[in-house]
Amino acid sequence: MSRPWAITTPIYYVNGLPHIGHTYSTVVADTMARYHRMAGEDVYFQTGMDEHGEKAETAAAENGETPEAYTTRIARTWQTTWDKLGISYDRFIRTTEPDHKIAVQRLAQAQWDAGQIEFREYEGLYCVGCERFLTERDMEDGLCKDHETAPDPRREANYFFKMSEHFAWLADLLEKQPDFIQPARYRNEVLAMIREGSGLDDLCISRPKERLSWGIELPFDPDYVCYVWFDALINYMTGCGYPDQPGWEERWQACEHLIGKDILKPHGVYWPTILHGAGLPLPKALHVHGHWQIADRKVSKSLGNLIDPLRIAERYGFETFRYFMLREMSFGLDGSFSEAVMVERVNAHLSNALGNLLSRTLNMTERYCEGVVPEPGEMGEPEAAVRTAAATAAAEVDRHVRAYESSQALEALFRLVDATNKYVDLREPWKAVKDPERAEEVRTTLYTCCQALRSIALLLAPFVPDAAATMLERLGIAGLAEQARLPADAAAWDTLEAGTATTKGDALFPRLELVADE
């Protein structure tokens, strides 16, 4: 039986629409899910919507809608976007769904029964955008760092989770399990938060209904609803089957969270302590990526510098955008986006390097070998070098993907592309074909190129699945990605049978031209 493996994106909030930051998180998760499926694992991939809280209620009122109608409309837009972009999620979860309400109330009750929650009065500075009270660390010049707005002073009575009682346990966990939060810089950041204080204390987990009715009722006090972050974090367990589905714990403990660095505190501090306070197991790991920037500023709704993925897809094709994001951003660090740079990268990597290799291989196969994979002759050192390059690429891609290093994985893959292009230039089949005594060499060269392209296409499939599927179809092995097992099948050689019919087709990656804004 295949082992379980699960991945979650953040659940995105309903007061806005998808932009490049959301798209990057979702594409990385999709790439990971596709790779692990091709590795033969039992994959579960979840994304979805965070629909409760003050911002949602306010946005609904501003649009003249009920919260139910507003959140349903926005959730459909998000789900439709991911569907149009070919995201291979297994569940699109909404925090308004009945099974999530059950999960939230069960976990809240578990904490209440364990004496982890108490009622008290609190006063502080509240950011509506963050939907939480801020500390000095969260502000700069009196403004919220994330939203660049001044928080409101508030005083009210609420329920609090005794989070501070779990800080020593969390610090010990992060020392003993350093890979729980990756990359290491973010583990160190969480350790600094809890060791230096950083304004962290107990966590307010409720809002009074007299101020906010749009939320899940606390099971032990119907006059209060859950704080949106307490509610939202539990979605990950809901999707894995908590509290009652058979086998939920096995899937849950194989679950890896993927988030942006702006929500490190809730996921790195609140979430593990909430679970510990309820006596529940932790997920496998938390992976934290950086932000996309335009003109040195973070992309965000509040700053008004969004990049619409559907607009970019319409202009350039989504897979080129997908490739650029995965190749350009080194996971954990910030990345910079511009359409001009994307066009340059795509033309250099996909059009010139990979597209040209596929095109000239299949064109020559049609011209010199009647359009079928030829029977090779004796393999020499140049052919052995390409074969070794394929095995090396398969191993390196596997290692980097499992470490969430998509940029390095693609670099390793394109070393195989470059090695194969250099091999073609070395063998010069367009010259060799003119000498009848070198006919076997031509067949060997094109056979080697076709085998390399098979390996490239399989390794490329999790990153740009449509393009990889087209490559395999043109090589006469359509559907192979659904049957193959990575990394072994990408490293395997002599598996593309001689005599297999190929199709040269049009340019796989036509050169892009920068589209001017109207």
Catalytic residue among 52, 55, 101, 130: 130
Closest CA to 277 of 109, 129, 136, 47: 109
Task: Name every residue whose Cβ is closer than 8 Å to that of residue 101 and which is 6 or more positions away in sequence.
Answer: 216
> What kind and span of H or E run contains 165?
none
Residue 55: active-site member: no
Q: Which residue has the tokens 């950011």?
A: 127
Catalytic residue among 147, 209, 422, 504: 147
Q: Which residue has the tokens 């395999």?
A: 472
DSSP 45: E
Neighbours of 84 (CB within 10 A): 12
Catalytic residue among 22, 52, 265, 287: 22
Closest CA to 161 of 201, 202, 120: 202
Instruction: Give one DSSP letter per residue of 320-364, joined into a string.
Output: HHHHHHHHHSPTTS-EE--HHHHHHHHIIIIIIIIIHHHHHHHHH
- Rounded Cα distance, 199 and 193, in Å: 8
Tokens of residue 494, six digits: 């002599």
CA 115 to chain centre: 37
> What kind and span of H or E run contains 52?
none
Q: How many residues does the chain have?
A: 518
Rg (Cα) of the chain, in Å, rounded? 26
Catalytic residue among 52, 100, 101, 144: 144
Closest CA to 19 of 420, 293, 364, 409: 293
Catalytic residue among 209, 284, 301, 422: 301
Residue 209: active-site member: no
Residue 127: active-site member: yes
Catalytic residue among 36, 289, 291, 298: 298
Residue 147: active-site member: yes
- Rounded Cα distance, 412 and 431, in Å: 30
Is residue 278 within 8 Å of residue 107, measured between CB atoms? yes
Q: State the first-to-last Cα distance of the chain, in angstroms, to the nearest integer.
A: 55
Catalytic residue among 100, 127, 166, 226: 127
Closest CA to 35 of 486, 354, 379, 511: 486
Residue 130: active-site member: yes
Residue 22: active-site member: yes
Active-site residue numbers?
19, 22, 127, 130, 144, 147, 298, 301
